[in-house]
Structure 1
Amino acid sequence: GPIETTDPVTIRSVARLLHRLHSAPEVPGTFDLPSVIEDYISTAKRFNVTHPGQLGEALKFSGEIVNAIERCSRVSAPCHNDLIAANFLQGKDRLYLLDWEYAGMGDPYVDLGNCAVNFCMDEAGCRALMESYLGREPSPSEMAQLHLLRVLSDLREAMWSYVQVGISTLDVDFHAYGMKHLERFLDNAKSDSLNTWLGAVGA
């Protein structure tokens, strides 16, 4: 059945499942988050979608995040890249991960950050996720990488939404959905925490 995203036992199971996935043999395809965001922006422009005025400011912050993340050598591992709660299924004795449309080789922290934002994890939830994933206490640098990619996940979701504004035939207000994620990205990017995390990567 569906999973309970705030349940500590579930978070531990999810973390262990992601660890198994990220330790699996190489898979076809790649998923590079900064490139994906750029692709979404150019695709939306091709469909004559008007991006919000805050996009320039958002890209300045995303550039800072990407530069900080790249101070640590990145690992390439099989990643799912769409870790919404609905893509997890709790079986009788194990947890299943569904919908592999975005899967490819990528940065495990992109998966971890995507999971953390989609599960609306607070600091304690993020720490529990990392402890179970690593099998030990996370370092300040590891927590910072999780948080930065958790924040950046919202910019990806916002830019995906603007592509949908151009191409989707669904009766969904993708513009409003995109603005919600863009505003949350900017709120997090302007918080005092961001500078702390930027400074902690690789320290």
Structure 2
Amino acid sequence: MGRPKKFSREDVLSKALPLFWKRGFTNTGLQDLEKATGVNKSGLYAEFKDKGDIFLSSLQHYYKGLKIKGLLTAEPKGWGNIEAFLNAIGEGCSADQSGCFGVNSMREISILPDEAAVLIAENRAELKALLAANVAAEHTAMNPLIAAELLTIFAAGLSIEQNLRRPAAESQAQAATLLSLLKKS
């Protein structure tokens, strides 16, 4: 019988996530993960299959704790929810990180584990559906799915720009301009 583990999976993920967020999948090595988590290689491999599994689990951990999409489920649905969502992105997905981990990870999609790519795509589809429901609630002439696609792309762009540490007011002004254009459509 092996020794009992002296770490929790959640603790490992909480420590691995910021490392992947800052350095990306490619530039995060197993030694980096050992140092950040305080768990040696054999302990990590006893809990996770490989670095890809640690990344996938970190991404799942991130999405599970993500509260920003909740802004799009508030009643009544409509432009107000979308504005709150976009403004929250402009303020940063996390006070300690730049941009959103999911969006930042899309830049490495071709080398991520397949399950991570699927998870990112599913999250994007969920976001798009939430945005479409809010646009549809406004009964505009614009197709809600097309508007949701534009808003999803815009939100990803805002998130990437958070890596530049721009003032929230700039992002909020851009969001206000886009919403003004969409409301006229």
After TM superposition, the score normalised by the length of structure 2 is: 0.32
Write 1 or 2 for the structure with the bigger share of helix: 2
* Bigger Cα Rg: 2
Write 1 or 2 for the structure with the bigger share of strand: 1
Q: Which has the higher contact order (CA 8 A, sep 6+)?
A: 1
After TM superposition, the score normalised by the length of structure 1 is: 0.30
